[in-house]
Structure 1
Amino acid sequence: MNEQTSNGPDAPRGCPVAHGGAELTRLYGPDAATDPQAIYERLRKEHGSVAPVLLEGDVPAWLVLGYRDNRRVLDNPRQFSRDARIWRDWREGRIAESHPLVPMVGWRPDCVSQDGEPHRRLRGAVTDGLLAASSRGIRRHATYFANKQIDAFADAGRADLVADYADQLPMLVLTRILGLPQADGLRLVESCAQVFKGGEDALVHNGHIMEILGELAQRKRTEPGSDFTTALLEHPAALDEDEVVSHLRLVLIAAHTTTSNLLARVLELLLTDTARLSGLISGQLNVSAVVEEVMWNTPPLSVLPARFATSELELGGHDIEEGDLLLLGLAPGNVDPEIRPDEGVAVQGNQSHLAFSAGPHECPGQNIGQSIIEVGVDVLLHRLTGLRLAVPPEELGSTATTWQSRLDSLPVEFAV
């Protein structure tokens, strides 16, 4: 994300405020912002709770910044549909199948792209499959893989808890949930990251993901097991081949990216705040409370794609046209001064954050992600004595894209 702007007269057709001559902020570019929250706050001051922005390729969109406006959009699928086929820029031919935004914003035959009865049918299959998976020992799998990852660097006395741990652990657990070979899962870590990063590489990596998951679905038809893939194939909702593979993609990308990012941020908070770390080790504080705080202040997805206006309406003082694209600002919504006038106020016990979305499309696998994080933190703290940052906290950096802000690295030292 960067702060490049585009003058209204030069903006593309369909731009929300091109006729007003206002400069629009581009939420993409080669120079990723190190402080996206500052951009959100500038947009809030200039436009209020909803702001016009440009996405990759100067595609126009509305970024919803206010908490209450985010909830209105998330809770009202009749006004704000998840079906990208009503997206005006798509309908009028300005978005090609090869556009870099398609892997994140385009329509797919999965429950996230549907509303109403089609959504309920597909969502039911996903929910049932995830419930079955969670009953088969998610914490046991997470404990096993957490220890296995730590074994790889425990004798070195130092590690990067992003590259060596947070990026790997959720994917390893997901391989068990999906019935995917571990080697295939680890090959997909980079592909998942590239889909969120955007650009031409996103299309290539999305194709790579679909190829591996397509092979998995075919294999599970003849070699069924106690896994999520088999559960989808055998569900009474009778998903077709495209629906099965699309949902495998959805769970893989969403679960890995959000869980790895959240785990890294939880570890960052603990290692930069000795009081929290001491409280956790002594038992005065539990991991879930730290996770909750991170979900309020640095949610794993900063911006959630996407909703599409089903008719002309008003939102945040702006006239939204039928077919307009709206992005859910989860990070700016969580710190909206209308609901959090003092960010220093404790949020422990308050689960009304936007980190897992809300409404009919609220994340169905959030309990699985939280279990992986809680186990990952507990095992790490019990295994590594004297765990501490290897660099000053101010040297820790993040890379922001349109959709998320990821911690670049978390170098640590510990006793051997």
Structure 2
Amino acid sequence: MTEHSANDAEAPLGGCPVMHGDGSELTRLYGPEAAIDPQGIYGRLRKEYGAVAPVLLEGDVRAWLVLGYRESRRVLDNPLQFSRDSRIWRDWKEGGVEETSPLIQMLGWRPDCVSQDGEPHRRLRRAVTDNLDTLAGRGIRRHVTHFANKQIDAFAGKGSADLVGEYAEYLPMLVLTRLFGLPAAGGRSLAVSCAQVIKGGPDALEHNERIMEILGGLAERKRAEPGPDFTTGLLAHAAGLDEGEILSHLRLVLITAHTTTSNLLARVLEMVLTDGSRLAGLVSGQRSVSEVVEEVMWNTPPLAVLPGRFATADLELGGTQIKEGDLLVLGLAAGNADPDIRPDSGVSVHGNQSHLAFSGGPHECPAQNIGQAIIETAVDVLLHRLPGLHLSVPADELTATASTWEARLDTLPVAFAPV
């Protein structure tokens, strides 16, 4: 710990108020400053508090932000100490968080594998992973190629495009509609709703309800007309998921798979197009997209902050005293940049897959291979379809906007020879 210890606060995190030792307010992970410079906030918090810092989430809900790499690993690997079950969250139990809070879309308990630990988690996760493994062998790259070409056809004749708004923002959802058994026509509006749920804000609840309504209709159709898709696989799995479990897992996979993959695809394209040697290497076949993905996972992971874990007892983490029922959120981007494990961020991370981008422990992301297939194929198709592809603005003019949980590239303007 550095100048201000967590013990300097006037009350423990579950109490009220929670202030710095000098009487100033805690740092907010939302709002205008956080949207522009989240990395600057992480750096200041690390300097002031060390590996674990008290912060405020939307609605000024109190949480601990874990900034240290080793501390994040400890939390992820120890569900007995740091549970994913938000029913033990003290602020929630004591009525400090409204049911209509946008945080509930990310932190609230649901009958899905993310919200549970132990045997209930293993039973539900098995149903998800079994079906994802089956899908991974059913021509995902063919689906990506089909939808990528359709997206590119819409702008190939113009000689210019925004690769965020016209490509990366919607492509993963179009692929997921095929894998889920949904009509592709609704893919764009579903992508918007998923983004709003992650972003939070006053519309998050409305968009979540819309997603659940669509998924409820999908499950009903697939009971009557089974198919070779993820939805049918969940309905028929030996784990015997009930209605609530089915819908919760459809929601979980749809939202997380789309939002993280679309964000990661945009960041990979940004890295490729702002480095001429990487672009030339990919076009010539001397470099692979997976190498670029690895770098992005370290430097700008698709989820910058992972929600959330809840302390099952009073304990110490990174020199900070955590109280039973406290909420912890994991700074994946901050942990990847932790100077204790990565003192020189300029050193190559090629071949090093120990980043935090996929989370870790029992709740590690189960759809890594599918996301990788979507990104690799999407980049390959784009580079081969558009000759002379290059950024149409200086790289330092590219901007990103952050919410509590992620930082998304705003636009990626490019030019190329019209096809």
TM-score interval, smaller chain: over 0.9
> CA 1:166 to 1:130, structure 2 compared with 1: closer, same or farther past 3 Å?
same
Maintained 8 Å contact 2:69/2:336: yes
In the TM superposition, residue 246 of structure 1 has moved relative to its aligned partner by 0.5
What SS does structure 1 have at the residue aligned with 2:123? helix
Q: What CA distance in whole angstroms lies between the structure 2 residues aligned with 1:15 and 1:213?
A: 40
Q: What CA distance in whole angstroms lies between the structure 2 residues aligned with 1:24 and 1:126?
A: 39
Question: Once the two structures are aligned, what percentage of the paired residues are identical?
Answer: 73
In the TM superposition, residue 328 of structure 1 has moved relative to its aligned partner by 0.7
Q: Does 1:414 align with 2:419?
A: no
Q: Does 1:239 align with 2:241?
A: yes
Q: What CA distance in whole angstroms lies between the structure 2 residues aligned with 1:97 and 1:221?
A: 31
What SS does structure 2 have at the residue aligned with 1:53? strand
Give the alignment partner of residue 197 of structure 2, picking from 179, 192, 195. 195
What SS does structure 1 have at the residue aligned with 2:329? strand
Maintained 8 Å contact 1:11/1:58: no
Q: Does 1:374 align with 2:350?
A: no
Map residues 101-180 of structure 1 onto 2, 5 A cutoff.
101-180=103-182
What's 2:15 paired with? Answer: 14
In the TM superposition, residue 31 of structure 1 has moved relative to its aligned partner by 5.4
Maintained 8 Å contact 1:77/1:115: yes
What SS does structure 1 have at the residue aligned with 2:209? helix
Number of equivalences: 410
Q: What CA distance in whole angstroms lies between the structure 2 residues aligned with 1:322 and 1:301?
A: 26
Give the alignment partner of residue 345 of structure 2, picking from 339, 343, 346. 343
Q: Deviations over 1:352-407 (max 9, x none)?
A: 00001000000000110010000000000000000011111111110011000000
> CA 1:397 to 1:200, structure 2 compared with 1: closer, same or farther past 3 Å?
same
> CA 1:197 to 1:63, structure 2 compared with 1: closer, same or farther past 3 Å?
same
Aligned partner letter, 1:321 = K
RMSD between superposed Cα atoms in Å:
1.6
Aligned partner letter, 2:83 = S
Maintained 8 Å contact 1:184/1:212: no
What's 1:218 paired with? Answer: 220
What's 2:5 paired with? Answer: none
Map residues 252-331 of structure 1 onto 2, 5 A cutoff.
252-331=254-333
Maintained 8 Å contact 1:16/1:52: no
Q: What CA distance in whole angstroms lies between the structure 2 residues aligned with 1:16 and 1:363?
A: 36
What SS does structure 1 have at the residue aligned with 2:321? strand
Maintained 8 Å contact 1:8/1:22: no
In the TM superposition, residue 190 of structure 1 has moved relative to its aligned partner by 0.8
Q: Deviations over 1:114-138 (max 9, x none)?
A: 0000000000000011011111111
Q: What CA distance in whole angstroms lies between the structure 1 residues aligned with 2:41 and 2:16?
A: 20
In the TM superposition, residue 234 of structure 1 has moved relative to its aligned partner by 0.3
In the TM superposition, residue 22 of structure 1 has moved relative to its aligned partner by 5.5
Q: Deviations over 1:335-368 (max 9, x none)?
A: 1000000011100000000001000000000110
Map residues 386-401 of structure 1 onto 2, 5 A cutoff.
386-401=388-403
In the TM superposition, residue 12 of structure 1 has moved relative to its aligned partner by 8.7
Maintained 8 Å contact 1:8/1:24: no
Aligned partner letter, 2:356 = L
TM-score (norm 2): 0.95
What SS does structure 2 have at the residue aligned with 1:342? coil
Aligned partner letter, 2:15 = G
In the TM superposition, residue 96 of structure 1 has moved relative to its aligned partner by 2.2
In the TM superposition, residue 15 of structure 1 has moved relative to its aligned partner by 5.5
Q: Does 1:206 align with 2:203?
A: no
Q: What CA distance in whole angstroms lies between the structure 2 residues aligned with 1:274 and 1:121?
A: 47
Q: Deviations over 1:293-336 (max 9, x none)?
A: 00000000000000000000001111000000000100000010
Q: Does 1:83 align with 2:107?
A: no
Q: What CA distance in whole angstroms lies between the structure 1 residues aligned with 2:47 and 2:64?
A: 15
In the TM superposition, residue 186 of structure 1 has moved relative to its aligned partner by 1.9
Q: What CA distance in whole angstroms lies between the structure 2 residues aligned with 1:245 and 1:294?
A: 32
Aligned partner letter, 1:198 = G
Q: What CA distance in whole angstroms lies between the structure 1 residues aligned with 2:402 and 2:55?
A: 16
Q: What CA distance in whole angstroms lies between the structure 1 residues aligned with 2:82 and 2:266?
A: 32
> CA 1:254 to 1:16, structure 2 compared with 1: closer, same or farther past 3 Å?
farther
In the TM superposition, residue 33 of structure 1 has moved relative to its aligned partner by 2.8
Give the alignment partner of residue 251 of structure 1, picking from 245, 250, 253. 253
Q: What CA distance in whole angstroms lies between the structure 1 residues aligned with 2:200 and 2:99?
A: 14
Maintained 8 Å contact 1:8/1:23: no
In the TM superposition, residue 292 of structure 1 has moved relative to its aligned partner by 0.3
In the TM superposition, residue 9 of structure 1 has moved relative to its aligned partner by 6.5
Q: Mark the runs of 5 or more structure 2 residues left unpaired by the alignment.
A: 1-7
Aligned partner letter, 1:14 = G
